[in-house]
Structure 1
Amino acid sequence: MDMDTERLDTLMAAEVYWTALAMKQQGSRFYRAIGEALEAADVPNRRLIYQTWPDAVWDFYLRGLRLEAGESSPSWG
């Protein structure tokens, strides 16, 4: 299995929320719109978004993982 296939499989199995949130919070106006579209997309259209912008979506996926980790870590305040 090549890297692109592994990434696509990972993205398809992942929670869309965090990737879309990272896009909407940290992306340019274009990627904020893609984040909105990603959240609203059904499975075939989600796959199309992932395949069309694989490197950018992967970057936002990784950012989303960091956002998720920040949400789940205990706060000491």
Structure 2
Amino acid sequence: MHYDRRAQQLLRFDQYEDGDFTRAEDDRLDLELSLLGSDRENEIVLFNAADEAALRVSHARYFQSIEEIALATARSQGPFAC
């Protein structure tokens, strides 16, 4: 996954088959090297998840804006008692 922190934007999302960890690591390294000197605030990460839906829940910030996350959190907690 390639994420631009400053823009809060997901730039690249690659999926690999189970057991393809070496290829994923090689691709990550290639991407990091290609981005050296970039003016973006790059975040290059590898995740292991059961499926994309699980990843979207556990790492929502890569897929949703802060506003969307805040709204979803508020909805899941219901009204606050005063």
The answer, yes or no, to whether TM exceeds 0.5 is no
Q: Whose strand proportion is higher, 1 or 2?
A: 2
Higher relative contact order (CA 8 A, sep 6+): 1
Q: Whose helix proportion is higher, 1 or 2?
A: 1
TM-score by length of 1: 0.29
Greater C-alpha Rg: 2
TM-score by length of 2: 0.28
